[in-house]
Amino acid sequence: MPELRDVTRMNTKTIINRVKEAGVIGAGGAGFPTHLKIAASVDTVIVNGAECEPLLRVDQELMEKNTEELINGLEFVRETTGAERVIIALKAKYTKAIENIKKLINNKRIYDIQELEDFYPVGDEQQLLYEVTGRIVPEGGIPLQVGAVVINVETVININNALKQTPLTHKYLTISGAVKKPLTLLVPVGTLIKELLSVVGGTTVTDFQLLDGGPMMGEIVSPDAPVKKTTKGVLVLPEGHLLIRNKNTDIKFLLKRAMSVCAQCRACTDVCPRYLLGHSLEPHRIMRSISYGIDSDSEVITSALLCCECGVCDTWGCPMGLSPRIINMHIKDELLKRNYKNTHNLSPEETYIMREFRKVPAKRLIRRLDIHEYDRAAPLDLRELNPERVELYLQQHIGDPSKPVVNVGEAVNKGQLIAKAAEASPGANIHTGISGRVRAVTENSVIIER
């Protein structure tokens, strides 16, 4: 039986600095720099193993196959945060992962396993926090405000690697959808997505589109787009699929359709996960107010900043096929341009009374999205991928872009620092996952070829 790592010989400052130097950020979502998150003092650490998006399998596979690295990484997080309780939260259906984790945390009283229902979006950190602890994060807030840190499975494993002075150069991701053999792979950050399609046997359709992420929150990307540190999956869908058509619809058309069609039925609000947590986000009111312009009703319009962009309102709620999520995203962009700061900061003491009855069952959602034929296993395949070229974006994280520290024509080695975090704001170092020569340094990226 493997033993948990002894962290008593390594002080908190050393742990945090190594994680910072390694360039570890959140493995999904906005890419928050991990060294800042684990520097917080909290009473509870929650490992997010809920795998929010349908069809993605990364966390499930890692909890089952890389269990020792996960628990070792958690020991470091516990040391830096001073947490009195560590909860590994994962879906009850992940039976093999639960079995393997139990073997390693046996007799460790500070650790606990929380088995979750299979609903969407249970992997959203605020939903997860409430499910596990009953605590509600204030509007516009983060779990730290209620004494908790929520951290992704892959991120914890990257922390373990960082303490062995191994920088973050590779990314776990699931390739699924209209492919011949769905897999979960470990690939160098910056690998072009088109190079991954042959690994899964190619596509099963001739005309297709690619999503970076899952079906709900994923964004359409080009085959020439590179894998980022936050890429959790690549989903291949037929070009004419409803999800693709919706994501390709112009925002001007969506706004006009909302103005003319929205019946104020409240269906989007009634299933909104943030509203159900007690937040003052009511998408149906935003859909009405946007008809009069972004300056029409500031209290309602600015509540769009509370949207977590999960897409439940679009795909599960609205009977008219409207897109409150995309409209909320548009409002956020407009408010950002105006340097508007969020003023919504209520601290709900209880959730909406119907919350328990309005969770969205994952299996039914998959049917609703018409992706049930792609709901297949994607086993972890650790074959070594050696792309001839990587493109490393300088901004894969919250904060300012990283600053290149290499020049065109320079030879670099695998694991070498090629861009350093900006000092003025939260950021992350970037390292290369291949050895080669720098072919280009642009405003947005560094390109390296073998």
Give the model confidence (pLDDT) of 163-202 as tens digits.
Answer: 999 999 999 999 999 999 999 999 999 999 999 999 999 9
DSSP string, 183-243: EEEEEETTBBGGGGGGGGT-BSSSSEEEEES-TTT-EEE-TTPBP-TT--EEEEEETT-HH
Domains held by the chain: number: 4
| pLDDT averaged over every residue in the chain | 94
- Asked whether residue 6 is assigned to any structural domain, the reply reads no
Nearest alpha carbon to residue 79 among 47, 40, 131: 40
- Same domain? 415 vs 354: no
What phi, psi does 202 have (nearest 5°)? 90, 180
Nearest alpha carbon to residue 139 among 290, 275, 268: 275
pTM: 0.95
CB 226 within 8 A of CB 192: yes
- Same domain? 382 vs 411: no
- Same domain? 232 vs 313: no
Q: Which has the minimum average pLDDT: 4-13, 195-204, 279-288, 328-337?
A: 4-13
- Residue 152 β-bridge partners: 48
- Same domain? 227 vs 141: no
Of all residues in the chain, the percent with pLDDT exceeding 90 is 89
Strands (E), 50-118: 85-91, 111-116
What confidence tier does 3 reach under pLDDT thresholds 50, 70, 90?
very low
C-alpha to C-alpha distance for 65 and 61, rounded to whole angstroms: 6
Q: What is the mean pLDDT of residues 117-145?
A: 97
Q: What is the mean pLDDT of residues 424-446?
A: 95
- Same domain? 104 vs 145: yes
Give the model confidence (pLDDT) of 256-266 as tens digits.
Answer: 999 999 999 99
Nearest alpha carbon to residue 38 among 2, 5, 86, 109: 86
Q: What is the mean pLDDT of residues 391-405?
A: 95
H or E segment and range at residue 418: strand 417-420
Domain boundary pick from 163, 193, 210: 163
- Same domain? 211 vs 147: no
**CB neighbour burial string for 26-42, b if at least 16 within 10 angstroms, e if fewer:** bbbbebbbbbbbbbbeb
- Asked whether residue 3 is assigned to any structural domain, the reply reads no
- Same domain? 31 vs 155: yes
What confidence tier does 341 reach under pLDDT thresholds 50, 70, 90?
confident
- Same domain? 79 vs 222: no
294 has pLDDT over 90 = no
- What domain range includes position 47? 12-163
- Same domain? 271 vs 415: no
